[in-house]
Amino acid sequence: MSAIIIDGKKIAEQIKAELKSEFELLKNKGVTPGLAAVLVGDNPASHQYVNMKEKACRELGIYSEKVIKSKETSQTELLDLINSLNHRDDIHGILVQSPLPDHIDEGRAILQISPAKDVDGFHPINQGLMLAGRPRFLPATPSGIVELLWRSGYKPSGKHVVILGRGYLVGRPLAAMLALKTEKGNATVTVCHTGTPDIAFFTKQADILIAAIGKAKFVTANMVKPGAVVIDVGTNRIKDPTHPKGVRTVGDVDFENVKEVAGAISPVPGGVGPMTIAILLTNTLKAARKEFSYA
């Protein structure tokens, strides 16, 4: 029997519907939330993702500004741009789309964003506040995964969660969020990475398996415990001569085969991606409300 498909697009639409009245309330008070997305280079997936964010902003009446810079943009130019956005009253949230060109230090770019406008939740101050149990902005993708599980009825509390990948964008913050003693956490968490021997030994123990390793179709059916919940964070572009564009996007999970073993599974696309955008909008609302008192 095939797994239940966890529809991230549907759940994201529910979140956006909940937010709509909140955004309208703010606008009635004379505040139009503003989100700036900075895109450096010509990565097709990044352009597509930023366009999706713009569309979501328009649907909710958020002012959206896309700033596109060439791949030759210097580190200094990018930092100056971020600093100018920090000082604009009409911009409440700033995100710098990853990945950046190799010559730019992504960590320095994140540090340049004002913590009060860091709606992606990557700034070390915001990550520290999360670990301290006083979150301002939760990281968009990890928080989207937590909401996806929670709203689908697959609550992590008391479960063994195995995360593939320890990156600072997903793996590390997600592990912390799921391990914290909170209503939507309280799980036993194992993080696997390139230094883990026999990854399948761990994945086959997972009640909830989250793949964020960046390798197309890495998780195969024989790596999954029957009935497990599988969340696929991967977005890998592979060649496909049958596709009109010659490429298609697949996840880190061999979806067609794993769905015959898992109890529930999120697809790519239509799983985690829409949830990331929904949380980004949630964080933008918080930033526009200025509902936090600390610097």
Residues forming the active site: 53, 97, 120
CA distance 83 to 64: 18
Helix crossing, 140-152 with 171-179: angle to 10°?
50
Residue 195 burial by Cβ neighbours in a 10 Å radius (0-12, 13-18, 19+): exposed
Does residue 236 sit in helix, strand or coil?
A: strand
CA distance 89 to 85: 9
Cβ count near 234 (within 10 Å): 24
CA distance 185 to 159: 10
Cα–Cα distances in angstroms (integers) from residue 208 to residues 76, 90, 189, 219, in the given order: 42, 41, 10, 13
Cα–Cα distances in angstroms (integers) from residue 20 to residues 14, 278, 285, in the given order: 10, 11, 10
